[in-house]
Amino acid sequence: MRQTDTANPIKAVLFDLDGALIDTAPDLANALNAVLKEHKQEPLPYERIRPMVSNGANGLIKLGFGDSLSDAEHEQIKAELIACYQQNIADKSALFNGLEDALLYIENRHIAWGIVTNKPEYLTQQLLKEINFNIKPQTVVCGDQVSSPKPHPESIYLACKQLGVLPENAIYIGDAERDIRAGNLAGLTTIACAYGYVQANDDIKTWQADEIVATSIELVEWIKEAC
């Protein structure tokens, strides 16, 4: 557990979006299975899809259709998947348990918060609008707003700059190795979320995060202790 550092107090908390802040897997899984059904393929169990969500549309297509698609077929199915997802982007997606309380605590402590994601801006903004946060993020940086998305630290540097905080005064919270790598390279305190979309063969302990939390409630407790 991080003890409050009076020399470098926490002034900002940054979240990855899918798998750390919002549980988007149910809607992404439904979109993939709808496209599989359209192409006369068997749907996949949710338990197989969930760990792959952090890999985005390309990862989901590879999971559902394998490696045999031509480039043209891949792009056509990708367009279908995204269109289906957009139509139902927040049917079942929601903040992970307890995180609304964490955001309220952060706001009451006058600590800035934001989102740094590799998700495209148009999907991110639609999702955030439909989720309808009671506490709005003060910055949102998406993968297509920078030249080098995560694991490069550019997007995290940009978020810190927009919030007017130094990296050493910020936390980055993510559920993928690229999140932790980007946060570490940028000089933030990093938290790895084992409750997110972590694949069975991932060893989260090797990611070199400053902290690992098993549940979203544990993350809330960590934030309240550290901020």
Pairing of strands 94-95, 22-23: antiparallel
Q: What is the pLDDT of residues 155-214, one digit of tens each?
A: 999 999 999 999 999 999 999 999 999 999 999 999 999 999 999 999 999 999 999 999
- For residue 148, the enclosing domain spans 12-23+93-226
3-class secondary-structure state, position 182: helix
Find out whether 190 and 184 touch, Cβ atoms under 8 Å. yes
Residue 58 lies inside a defined structural domain of this protein: yes
Name which of 20, 12, 4 is nearest 198 in CA terms: 20
Residue 61 sits in the same domain as residue 170? no
Return the CA Rg of the chain: 18
- C-alpha 31/C-alpha 213 separation (Å) is 29
- Out of 87, 102, 134, a domain closes at 87
Taking the alpha carbons of 111, 115, 121, 126 in that order, is the dihedral positive or negative? Answer: negative
Task: Establish whether 16 is a catalytic residue.
Answer: yes
Residue 37 sits in the same domain as residue 144? no
Pair of tokens at residue 223: 């934030």
Residue 1 lies inside a defined structural domain of this protein: no
Residue 43 sits in the same domain as residue 100? no
- Of the candidates 16, 23, 27, 175, the residue annotated as catalytic is 16
67, amino acid identity? D
Q: How far is CA 147 from CA 142, 151, 152, in A?
A: 11, 12, 9
Q: What is the pLDDT of residues 45-102, one digit of tens each?
A: 999 999 999 889 999 999 999 999 999 999 999 999 999 999 999 999 999 999 999 9
Residue 2: pLDDT band (50, 70, 90) is very low
Task: Establish whether 27 is a catalytic residue.
Answer: no
- Of the candidates 18, 23, 27, 175, the residue annotated as catalytic is 18
Question: Could you give the number of structural domains in the chain?
Answer: 2
